[in-house]
Copies of this chain bind each other. A is one copy, B any other.
Amino acid sequence: MIEKTCQTFVSDCHIRAAAELINHAWDPVVLSALRLGPTRRNALLGRIGGISDKVLTQSLQRLSAGGLVTRLSTGDQIPRRKGAVYQLSSLGESFANGPLAQLAQWAADNQADLVGPSS
């Protein structure tokens, strides 16, 4: 999908690559929440208000597969462990502290001018 669209509009085809990282509603929020440091799943559920159990799991899986988030199994690699901890990878950190932080900053600055669908 990406390769094909890159034949035109070459200079900005990176936008599509980056957009896929944040195309899911909760992914940016999860990444932002992880900026506060390594966090357990359940702590994320509480810190992020309104996210459902399943979606958080899927989001973490997506972000892990994309290399933005690392799962620290406290003991071994067996899933469904209790003490699993998620943290930003170096790539995820550069993303969350870079463009994502800029995005949030811009939204904060232009809050008054934003016409959200729910306001």
Interface residues of A (CB under 8 A from B): 1-9, 12, 14-23, 25, 28-29, 32-33, 35, 46-50, 65-67, 91, 94-95, 98-100, 102-108, 110-111, 113-119
A108 B14 Cβ-Cβ under 8 A: yes
Describe A's contact surface by its main secondary structure.
helix
Please give the count of copies of this chain that the complex contains: 2
> Across the two chains, which residue of chain B brings its CB closest to A98?
B106
Chain B min CB distance to A53 (Å): 15
A118 partner residues in chain B, CB cutoff 8 A: 1-3
- Give A111 to B3 CA distance when docked, in angstroms: 13
A28 B15 Cβ-Cβ under 8 A: yes
A12 B32 Cβ-Cβ under 8 A: yes
A2 partner residues in chain B, CB cutoff 8 A: 116, 118-119
B94 A99 Cβ-Cβ under 8 A: no
